[in-house]
Amino acid sequence: MYHLPTNTGWIEVICGPMFSGKTEELIRRLTRAQIAKQKVAIFKPKIDDRYAKEEIVSHSRHKIDSVIVESPWEILELAKHAEVVGVDETQFLGMDIVHVVQKLADAGKRVICAGLDTDFRGLPFEPMPQLLSIAEYIDKMLAICVKCGNPAKHTQRIVESRDLVLVGEYDAYEPRCRRCFVPPQTHPPTSEQLSLTESKKG
């Protein structure tokens, strides 16, 4: 795979739509580090209540113990002694996660962030574009389009909702390719809805 650097930190980003295996890939990398007896710390935002409270669980039910944070700044203190820092559902942590990740990598840690790079409208999902810009290593995962079988980069919402954040999985979303993706025909979320989303993020 990569020629990994020594005596320095770095940032890896695993991005893509839902159902592309991002969390599975994150768990795979973190498990390899644990086997090598590296000190690993794993975080996810409070918003994600799927499956389990204090574990990261992929759709295929692989799991790894994690700490839930409300603010990305908590990670700085909690990951102080870690050599490898994993973050899942990074897109829900807001722009401050960019500064936190940068500080962790500058402090010599390997930081691995997984998250959605586009939202249900097909638009870049901040802060992921910022993280992609500052990362050393990037993997864009693709799912398979449920309509035609092509590689799928989109997360199609299949229920009516204009909330930017709507937590769900097979009941609410499906992977679609560029050709089969249908952007929502609704107006963009109002500033009131966005501020609700922000307050949900904490």
Enumerate the active-site residues. Answer: 89
CB of 147 to Zn ion, least distance (A): 4
Nearer to Zn ion, 109 or 153 (CB): 153
CB of 176 to Zn ion, least distance (A): 6
The tokens for 155 are 């997360």
CB of 142 to Zn ion, least distance (A): 11
Residue 62 burial class via C-beta count within 10 angstroms: exposed 0-12, middle 13-18, buried 19 and up? middle
Q: How far is the C-alpha of 170 from the C-alpha of 160, rounded, in Å?
A: 14
Nearer to Zn ion, 84 or 143 (CB): 143
Nearer to Zn ion, 116 or 145 (CB): 145
Q: How far is the C-alpha of 9 from the C-alpha of 55, rounded, in Å?
A: 25
Helices marked H in the chain: 22-35, 73-78, 96-106, 128-134, 191-201
CB 176 within 8 Å of CB 145: yes
Binding segment toward Zn ion, per CB under 5 A, in 32-40, 78-86, 149-157, 182-190: 149-157
| Binding of residue 144 to Zn ion (CB under 5 A) | no
CB of 179 to Zn ion, least distance (A): 5
| Strand pairing category for 154-157 and 173-176 | antiparallel
| Binding of residue 148 to Zn ion (CB under 5 A) | yes
Question: Coil, strand or helix: which one is 125?
Answer: coil
Nearer to Zn ion, 180 or 196 (CB): 180
| Binding of residue 158 to Zn ion (CB under 5 A) | no
Binding residues for Zn ion, per CB under 5 A?
Answer: 145, 147-148, 150, 177, 180
